[in-house]
Each structure stands twice: as structure tokens, then as C-alpha cells.
Amino acid sequence: DAGVIQSPRHEVTEMGQEVTLRCKPISGHNSLFWYRQTMMRGLELLIYFNNNVPIDDSGMPEDRFSAKMPNASFSTLKIQPSEPRDSAVYFCASTIGGGLTDTQYFGPGTRLTVL
């Protein structure tokens, strides 16, 4: 079975541009998580969905960030407009259950560079 799939793997954009990151969770998994990883702040939980519904978005840094999960097999994280400080690796993870106690399966990540 395929793991969590993320695209693109690398994204380089200029400040002010819109960026969309995509994630396909493992089939059958009910929860999806978006993380951001930087050297300074480590691994931060941005938002998570359970059964396609956003449960906790308190980690979303500001209104420039938005996330959607239109169906069980697809989610997007959008940054508009992007800023250099958004440069990071963004991970998507999914779990089979609906709680925060379940094993998280991470995707390969998207390395975002904002110039």
C-alpha cells in the first residue's frame, strides 16, 4: 500500500506568490495532519482534520495560511501571499483513527523556499 503522498517535493517561489501544497493520505485513514519543520521552531502542528472536518487549526500561524480537505483522499495547504519566513519543510501525516494517540504516518514532505 502506498504511503502518504505529497506534492510537490520541492517548491521555490517569490515573495507574494500563492503556494499550494498537496497531500494524499493513506487510504482508509481518518485523520490528516499538516506540520511545518524549521531549524528554529522544530516540528509544529499547523492543523488537523478528522473525517475531512478541521478539528484544531490553532497552529496555523496567520490568515495567510489556509487548509482544506474536500474529500477523504485529498488535502491542500495554501499560503497566500507567501513570505520568506514561510520557508520550511511542510509535512503531511495521517492516522487510521480519529484521535491524537494514534501512530502518525508522515509523507516525504515539501521543501518550500520563498525568495
| Smallest distance from another protein to CB 13, Å | 21
Nearer to another protein, 65 or 91 (CB): 91
The whole-angstrom separation of Cα 69 and Cα 39 is: 28
Question: How is residue 1 written as a grid cell?
Answer: 500500500
| C-alpha closest to that of 21 among 43, 5, 38, 37 | 5
Q: Give least dist CB 75 to another protein, A.
A: 16
DSSP annotation of 73 reads: T
Q: How far is the CB of 93 from another protein (least distance, A)?
A: 8
In the complex with another protein, the residue whose CB is nearer, 42 or 70, is: 42
Nearer to another protein, 31 or 82 (CB): 31
Contacts with another protein by CB under 8 A lie at 33, 35, 42-45, 56, 58-59, 91, 93, 99-101, 103-109
For the chain, how far is it from start to end, CA to CA, in angstroms? Answer: 37
Decide if 67 contacts 19 (C-beta within 8 A). Answer: no
